[in-house]
Amino acid sequence: MRDLIKNKLGDPDLLEQMYRENPDLFSSEFRAIYPDLEQTEAVRFWKSRLDYGQAPVKAVGIIKMDVYVLVLVCALSGFLIKLPEIFSIDLEKFPFYEKNAALIVLFGLSLYALRTNMVQSWRKIAVTLLAFIIPAIYINLLPTGNEADAIILAYLHLPLLMWSIYGLVYIDFDLKDLAKRIVFIRYNGDLAILGAIIMISGGILTGISIGLFSAIDIQAETFYTTYVVIIGLVSVPVVATYIVRNYPSLTNKIAPVIAGIFSPLVLITLVIYLLSIMVSGKDPYNDRDFLLVFNGMLLGVMAIIVFSVSETSSGKRQSLNRWILLILTGVTLIIDLVALSAIFYRLGEYGITPNRIAVLGSNLLIFGNLLQIFIDFIRVQLGKSHIDVVERTIARYLPVYTLWTIIVVFGFPLFFGMK
């Protein structure tokens, strides 16, 4: 939408129609392009209009509602994460954090989203609660102690499933609107950046605080780690979300810069890495640990591509970034093909296991998504399509990943066994 706004600044009727159809999305996208076009009279008019209409509500929301909700959600998340100490749960016998940490964090985010979206439908609230309660009961009832591979896979994929549930809450359960999914994808990039900044700042504060207390012979490490650090970690995503929501101009300036820096660096690193594999003689076909690292790298690069696409506009100065993303996607496709061939080889040589099927399924999904993105980028660079089509491709594919996580979390333990 941001590119459509840029191109239609001289069409006030169309801008008004776009605003009335989706005020929140229009406002978010407008604020993203405002720094580049603030000298334009039409842009200044819309900025004044949006600020005038939202300023009083915003102030009341920040002072009386948003901050209170933020504190309450952080307090609830902190309470839930401390349940092992409250109820004296033996973490050596029961892996509480492996089972529940992601549930707690994403539950807090979902509660905050319900409030910020002003959801008043009891049906939506009930569905959200059930969507967290059912997986929580299920994952905690799975056998513990020498867990089977299928159960460990359920632990690893549960955060992705709950992230999908949170995404539904974030877009207000509107599955038909691809624009809202695109906004959610962009939000996740902003969340990752701000979350990292907050955690780095928190780490510095922790070091300073412990050092100050040590200087007066008070050992505060245990207390600080047990209460401040752990509660702070589960609160970071909610605090970052609060900042993204209430200070969009801040995040809109940071995210494109980060995307522009990391995309070429990742591309260079990948090319050097592929050449190094040939020189070092490392073999993903027979080296299981190397194959796992290979797949982990693939997932990370895929996330960077998705994030970078969401932060790339259609301006001429972004042409280089689009070329970099096109090449990066092509290189990642090659890596995925190598990984897939290694997985098929290991399946033929060593047989079927839950881990191999899970990795195979994930790689096939990523390959399919990357191939679509690669084709879309080629069409964009040939002038046959618009950069927005890449975002829409990514948005359409999200339910496919969700379906796969449901299969792994609920289907694998039943199909492959729990022992």
In whole angstroms, what separates CA 208 from the centre of its chain? 30
Tell the burial category of 240 from Cβ atoms under 10 Å away from its Cβ (0-12, 13-18, 19+). buried
Question: Helix, strand or coil for residue 187?
Answer: helix
CA distance 161 to 409: 8
Q: pLDDT class for 31, splitting at 50, 70, 90?
A: low
Tell the burial category of 345 from Cβ atoms under 10 Å away from its Cβ (0-12, 13-18, 19+). middle
pLDDT value, residue 162: 95
**Whether pLDDT at 113 is above 80:** yes
DSSP 171: T
Mean pLDDT of 203-230: 81
Length of the chain equals 419
Token pair 């459509």 is found at 4
Residue type, 46: W
Residue type, 12: P
Prediction pTM value = 0.79
CA distance 343 to 140: 31
Q: pLDDT class for 39, splitting at 50, 70, 90?
A: low
Q: pLDDT class for 51, splitting at 50, 70, 90?
A: low
Higher pLDDT, 62 or 259: 259
Going from N- to C-terminal start, the domains of the chain cover: 1-78, 247-419
CA distance 48 to 251: 20
Kindly report, residue by residue over 343-383, the tens digit of the pLDDT.
898 888 888 889 889 989 998 998 999 999 999 889 888 88
DSSP 317: G
pLDDT value, residue 314: 45
What residues contact 183, with CB distance under 8 A and at least 6 apart? Answer: 25, 28, 171
Compute the mean pLDDT over every residue in the chain, rounded to the nearest whole number: 81
**Whether pLDDT at 107 is above 90:** yes
CA angle 210, 211, 215 (to 5 degrees): 115
pLDDT value, residue 228: 83
**Whether pLDDT at 57 is above 60:** no
CA 42 vs CA 132, 156, 216, 253, 364: distances in Å: 45, 49, 60, 21, 47
Residue type, 355: N
Higher pLDDT, 74 or 119: 74
Kindly report, residue by residue over 281-304, the tens digit of the pLDDT.
666 777 666 667 777 777 777 777
